[in-house]
Amino acid sequence: MDKQAVKNAITEMVNSMYRIQSEKDLQKAIVQRMKDEQGMEREDVKEFKAMAKFAYKMDLATKKAELEAIEAKMAEYGIED
């Protein structure tokens, strides 16, 4: 086993974990801001998070459909991976 490759992969994973934690912290800060600025209560926050999650999933579905259309067009021209 290549020790340097394993060490590099661990460093890469740790950096990824930091980025994930930073995004979670940002999401918490956004929710706190909505509580402070908009007076959101517990139920409001729950609904806010649900709306954000729904919007995220809709955006992903839209992007997936767009990519599938591009992939089909590329296949028409014989451009494939």
The 10s digit of each residue's pLDDT in 15-28 is 999 999 999 999 99
Q: What is the pLDDT of residue 23?
A: 98
Crossing angle of helices 42-76 and 3-38, rounded to 10°: 130
Domain identity same for 15 and 49: no
Residue with tokens 């729904």: 54
* Six-digit token string for 63: 């992007």
Domain identity same for 4 and 36: yes
Residue 81: pLDDT over 70: no
Domain identity same for 36 and 52: no
Total of domains in the chain: 2
Q: What is the pLDDT of residue 39?
A: 97
Q: Which domain holds residue 28?
A: 1-40
pLDDT range class, residue 59, cuts 50, 70, 90: very high
Residue 61: pLDDT over 90: yes
Domain identity same for 36 and 66: no
Q: Are 45 and 34 in contact (CB under 8 A)?
A: yes
Domain identity same for 14 and 48: no
For 67, list phi and psi in degrees, rounded to 5: -65, -40
